[in-house]
Amino acid sequence: MIRKWAMRAVIAYFLFGTAMYVYLFFIADTAIPQMYKGTSADPATFLNARELMLSEEYSNIRNLLFFLNKPYQWLFYYLILLFGISAAFERWAKKTSKWFSLQTLIYLFWLSLASFIVTFPFAYTSYLFSKTYQISTQVFSSWMRDQLIDFWVGYATMAVVVLVIYMMMRKYKKRWWLAVWVLSIPFSIFMMFIQPVVIDPLYNDFYPLQNKQLETKILSLADEADIPAEHVYEVDMSTKTNALNAYVTGVGSNSRIVLWDTTLERLDDEEVLFIMAHEMGHYVEKHIYKGIAGYILLTFAGLWITAKLMDLWVNKRGKIWKVEGTANISSLPAFLLITSVLLFAASPLTNWVSRYQETRADQYALEMTEDPAAGVRTFQDLTRAGLSQVNPPYLVKIFRYGHPTMLERINMAEEFKQQVSEE
């Protein structure tokens, strides 16, 4: 019976992967609508033939890896339950220590290590393709260092989260999810507060923007937007990637506006100011705080659904998995599987909200800079640097895109330019 369920799960995974391959490479239409042919939104007007070919190839590969990776993780969690491996990890942990907290840490280490090993091929394949298409400039040793940092940062974070969850399960049999939700609120805010000053520097070097003339222009924009900013930070990313990026991170006094050095090297001042105005739009519209509020609401619903499904699933399959009850640490793969599926199912909604906020930030940047031409050039340069599709397939857009498509962003800038000229 166990082998039959395992085989069904593996077959389902391969059928899904085949379907996504056929969709992305043979069915999905990424062509620009006829009405935009020859406009600034048409990639043929700002990419050469080789760049057009590479952007389609790389985007399709990257999208396929995304859709294969998530179900692959689900398959791992399911099989580790089904074959009793999770129960074996728990037995080893109990033999090592009589303390529940230490048992949890030991169990989590073995589960994290198994997950790291099993998912490593996907991570390495993604790295190889990014190197092949010259998106990544990172040498293997540096990339591997980041992977190991990811492992230990993830393990430390998960250790705190999992300990709290299973302690609440043991203390509150039926309402553990509510206690976990209440505790998750200050924890999430705390993590956002320390992210820019504790975690991010583990991966890269951050320092104040070296171009003081440009910093003065950026801070002038910030002053115009009533943003209490004293510094703009740049981060050394050129040793890892050719892609361009800028972002706002953190909350309160630890919030930072960050520019990748690749962005500074490849964009002119007007384009950089447009990007900065976009990031300031997030601050002015309080998107970070709205995002926290939305996350809190989603966590409430997600934990409630997870609790119901875990009780139902463990009660029905626990004997087969050798998992005695929901509060046993060996049930963790079930928790991770359910929450991962729920997050994926919710991603069309969360991505839609994110795209709306990004659209608002684009609009703010256009109004603040009054330079739509810089906006168009910025979006075209971002497309070229990341080998992105201007008009991605529908499923890719709703499941992957937290930003509007480049077609939508360039058209918005062009429409704004037309409105300005008419006025």
Active-site residue set: 279
- 237 backbone dihedrals φ, ψ, rounded to 5°: -115, -10
Burial of residue 371 (CB within 10 Å: 0-12, 13-18, 19+) is buried
- Tell me the chain's radius of gyration from C-alpha atoms: 24
Using DSSP's 3-state secondary structure scheme, residue 247 falls into: strand
Amino acid identity at 248: V
8 A C-beta contact, residue 405 and residue 36: no
Q: How far apart are CA 122 and CA 17, in angstroms?
A: 14
**Consecutive H or E run containing 52:** helix 49-82
Burial of residue 68 (CB within 10 Å: 0-12, 13-18, 19+) is middle
Q: How far apart are CA 337 and CA 321, in angstroms?
A: 14
Q: How far apart are CA 375 and CA 267, in angstroms?
A: 11
Burial of residue 15 (CB within 10 Å: 0-12, 13-18, 19+) is exposed
- 218 backbone dihedrals φ, ψ, rounded to 5°: -65, -45
8 A C-beta contact, residue 316 and residue 57: no
Task: Please give the full DSSP string across 88-120, using - where no structure is assigned.
Answer: HHHHHHHHH-S-HHHHHHHHHHHHHHHHHHHHH
b (16+ CB within 10 A) / e for 80-98? bbbebbbbebbeebeeeee
